[in-house]
Amino acid sequence: MKTVFKGEHYQVMNAKNILLDNDIEVFVENELMGSIRPWGVTAGGFNPIQLKVYEADVEKATALLKFLEE
């Protein structure tokens, strides 16, 4: 699985919904710890939660989420 998006809880949940709506299976890494103790997941708490998808879906997922990173 590859990481296609990193962010705070609200950002990641929006991105997750976009991917699920487009039939892309998503794994959320650090979802609970990122919302409870973001500073404990990564240094400084910057982008603690990650969305991961299967290799076959990386290109499609990246294209769908491109506008969120701008």
pLDDT at 40: 52
The one-digit pLDDT tens for each residue of the chain (70 residues) are: 999 998 888 888 999 999 999 999 999 987 655 455 555 545 445 557 889 999 999 999 999 999 877 5
pLDDT at 67: 83
Give which of 36, 27, 52, 7 is closest to 62, Cα–Cα.
52
pLDDT at 48: 75
Q: Which two tokens stand for residue 28?
A: 């959320």
Helix (H) or strand (E) holding 58: helix 58-65
- The pTM assigned to this predicted structure is 0.76
pLDDT at 34: 47
Fold type of domain 2-69: Alpha-Beta Plaits (3.30.70)
